Structure 1
């Protein structure tokens, strides 16, 4: 069934469009992820609560050539990259890095997701984004093939961060587990095995994992000026080199003077997990209605999956790794097995 996209000057009412959204939801395959309904929309699993925002984003968004869009799967380093990108783009607007608003605003408040916040409830009344200062910085969890054609044909730049599937799953597991625990659920090995099976079969928010990764990876190979593909593990291992490359890609390279003044190291330290955890807004704040900011900062460690997945669970990920391998992709910085 085609999406119920409508032109900006449509006379359809919000109620009519809402009905079309409901009809679309009913026509799509369904699954649950920790109690959250999902639909298989355009080949990936979309949380039902986001479907209207996704369609509004696809329908209305008009990119500028100077736009920068951070793309990622959930729990792959999105919060970290938001803080790094925001610091990079705003470092020269302030007299000192300490003036960046990280003490009072979570990175997700500073870099809004297009389908989650920007185009929420806006099918008939899209937001006016034309007055935002350039370069505009946004984020998305949507796979490349489902992005609006306006983005694919523009000169805007996409930064994609990829994380190995083992750690991605474990981080996703812990994030959503909080909702089960709040309902009195006691997680056990059997429950975790069930979600490993789902995840490796491609049934997870914005999954399948391998399709998401390969979509942006292939575009980065074909059009490296359009998409920069970053591995989370590489950023952890060689943060300075990666940050310099990131700055060059988004059009604000570090000057020799900045390098002499250790600005790169200062940004890395400011945006580190340790630093962000200590920010008052991330200790007690709440940006998303349904989750506290502190839940967005867990460990961020490479290889933490080995502390949570049994050997039989880890074996399930072979099907993901095989699909990546068949497409020609392999992780540069992280061994897939310990």
Structure 2
């Protein structure tokens, strides 16, 4: 049983008997944010998100025109949602109009989180979403619904340096579940992270599945890194736009979208500074620093080396490299 929490994904009140039966047979570990996390199809999940994944796998029907954004938690989700939402809606909602939805609505309310929606509202009708449908998920490639794998829908995968991702997750956890994380030392968290035992983990397997999928089918899976997105935002945004079939003709449009969706712009908006999402997460929890290399403020050199060694070991021979 999870400890009390105001965040839906850390609770277990809505679990079906089918999920409870499955959970009883799965490997479990003490989690950072919840009493236990459970291993399913190679990844670790909370009870709530596991149920969302199961329901999604059973009921989600992908369309060829769908765009699905994927990443590990705390790897640029908010930014990626904002950028791609603005991209595909730039004629419907011109940035220059001053009336863009992103100015008054948190990005997580504009781009539904598949397993989250299926946990909170298992009968939600995804066919009502505007065309083209834009969604996101933290599911591994292995766990994606078969309809996603078999359709021609586009997958944009964003990967972040594991040290920055870990530190972002560490601070996010302290906001979401202060009681659970209070007595959980960072040294133990780094050890669990490197073993893959955290919500959505293992980081390494998740990344490599999509990395290899992007090499095997580049027309279906686009692999981008948070670091390149920060370094040359306009170049990467144009690459994403071409991939999803809405390339630019005007450079000014690119610059406007990049500016609108920047950390500096979004983090100052009232909608992202106050209030909560329906799932109980405070909107300001999604905006901490958004930096590249910010891990150095939290990780000691020795802990950073532990993550670096694991990265070299896990990604050796894959051709995947990280800056910072």
Deviation at 1:121, TM superposition (A): 4.5
> How far does residue 32 in structure 1 lie from its aligned partner after superposition?
2.7
1:51 aligns with 2:50: yes
How many angstroms apart in 2 are the aligned matches of 1:151 and 1:302? 31
Alignment of 1:200-239 (within 5 A): 200-239=194-233
Alignment of 1:117-136 (within 5 A): 117-118=117-118, 120-122=120-122, 126-136=123-133
Once the two structures are overlaid, the 10-residue window that deviates more, 127-136 or 231-240, is 127-136
Residue matched to 1:157 = 154
Larger Rg: 1
> 1:131 and 1:283, CA in 2 relative to 1: closer, same or farther beyond 3 A?
closer
Q: Retained in 2: the 8 A contact 1:161–1:229? A: yes
In 2, are the aligned partners of 1:87 and 1:267 still within 8 Å (CA)?
A: yes
Aligned-residue offset at 1:39: 0.4
* Aligned twin of 2:25: 27
- Tell me the distance in 2 between the aligned counterparts of 1:288 and 1:164: 30
Q: CA deviation at 1:94?
A: 2.9
Q: Deviations over 1:251-280 (max 9, x none)?
A: 11111xx22xx1111111110111111111
For 1:305, the equivalent position in structure 2 comes to 295
Aligned-residue Cα RMSD (Å) equals 1.7
Q: How many residues of Structure 1 are paired with residues of Structure 2 in the alignment?
A: 307
SS of equivalent to 1:33: coil
For normalisation by structure 1, the TM-score amounts to 0.87
For residues 256-295 of structure 1, the aligned pairs below 5 Å read 258-259=250-251, 262-295=252-285
Q: Which runs of 5+ in 2 are unaligned?
A: 1-14
Runs of 4+ in 1 over 4 A off after TM superposition: 184-187
For structure 1, the residue ranges without an aligned partner over 5 or more in a row are 1-16
TM-score, L = length of structure 2 = 0.90
Note the 1:7-156 alignment, pairs <5 A: 18-36=16-34, 37-97=36-96, 98-118=98-118, 120-122=120-122, 126-156=123-153
User: Is residue 251 from structure 1 mapped to residue 233 from structure 2 by the alignment?
Assistant: no
Structure-1 separation of matches of 2:70 and 2:264: 23
How far did residue 133 of structure 1 move? 2.4
- The Cα shift of 1:52 comes to 1.4
